[in-house]
Amino acid sequence: MTDSTRLPAPLASWRQTLLSPLKPAQDASYPRENSPVWKVIERTGDHYLNVAPKPVLSTRETRAYREAIPHPGHGNAPALKDSSADLLALILTAVDGEPLKGEEPPACRRAAHRHAGQLLRRFHEALPGLQAQVEAAQVVENAQSGLDKHIAQAGDQLATGESDMSRRVVSTLLSDAEECALGKFAAADAASALAYGPRCSEAFVTARGRATVERLMQEGRR
């Protein structure tokens, strides 16, 4: 393990107060900037320790795991073991399963999407009130303000008509209908994926963004 992947001393000390690991923490970070994650193997089960890139994201993620994530039910999402605002860190339980890779049969993908939608609905229902509305509005504003930057970075990954479609779709993001709003977020996410994927040699991310754009075009969101 190199110095760049070893668990830093402050995180190691904090982890030691909560877990009794059987071996040194393993680097499990996704190849992306500011996304450190470590896997901790313990007698009671595997855990993950991750650090947010900035305080606002740490606060948002901690609140979600404390208030909303328990609602999808045991085994459907990681459980929060503890969090540290000073370290911007969370310790989460591991959950069985693997991400969809895109090669699954259509029936399998539809079932997974249906299940994800059910979990998303429980997640949204668990965060009522003014604070959740304020946070949701901020997410909408961020999606809108970042779109042109992502389109510019995507370059020739997006045709002119596809770029125009993304702008039109995202510009109506404040719709009250969740189904409609999900389409808007899909357009914003696709532009982001087509900007990030080629730049970081992430073929899967690029393919995901391209598939989303093509689906939105086929649905007539021109």
Are 84 and 145 found together in one domain?
A: no
Are 148 and 213 found together in one domain?
A: yes
Mean of pLDDT values over 171-194 = 72
Are 136 and 82 found together in one domain?
A: no
217 burial level (CB within 10 Å; 0-12, 13-18, 19+):
middle
Question: What's the number of domains the chain is made of?
Answer: 2
With beta carbons less than 8 A apart as the criterion, state whether 40 and 25 touch.
yes
Domain boundary among 93, 114, 143: 93
pLDDT for 2 equals 47
Q: Is residue 99 part of a domain?
A: no
Q: Kindly report the backbone phi and psi dihedral angles of residue 158, in degrees, each rounded to the nearest multiple of 5, phi listed first.
A: -120, 125
Q: Is residue 104 part of a domain?
A: no
Least confident of 13-22, 177-186, 198-207: 177-186
Q: Is the pLDDT of residue 1 over 50?
A: no
Are 214 and 133 found together in one domain?
A: yes
Are 88 and 147 found together in one domain?
A: no
Are 134 and 214 found together in one domain?
A: yes
Q: Is residue 165 part of a domain?
A: yes
Q: Is residue 123 part of a domain?
A: no
Are 81 and 142 found together in one domain?
A: no
Please count the residues of the chain.
222
CATH number of the domain residue 60 falls in = 3.30.200
Q: Is the pLDDT of residue 79 over 80?
A: yes
Q: Is residue 133 part of a domain?
A: yes
Q: Kindly report the backbone phi and psi dihedral angles of residue 81, in degrees, each rounded to the nearest multiple of 5, phi listed first.
A: -80, -50
Are 153 and 213 found together in one domain?
A: yes
Q: Is residue 23 part of a domain?
A: yes
Q: Is residue 89 part of a domain?
A: yes
- pTM beyond 0.75: the answer is no
Q: Which residues pair with 89 in a beta bridge?
A: 51, 84
Q: Is residue 197 part of a domain?
A: yes
Q: What is the pLDDT of residues 124-142, one digit of tens each?
A: 776 666 566 666 667 667 7
Are 84 and 140 found together in one domain?
A: no
Q: Can you give the residue range of the structural domain that contains 19?
A: 9-93
Nearest to 189 by CA among 173, 201, 174, 177: 173
Are 198 and 134 found together in one domain?
A: yes
pLDDT for 47 equals 93
DSSP β-ladder status, 26-27 and 45-51:
unpaired
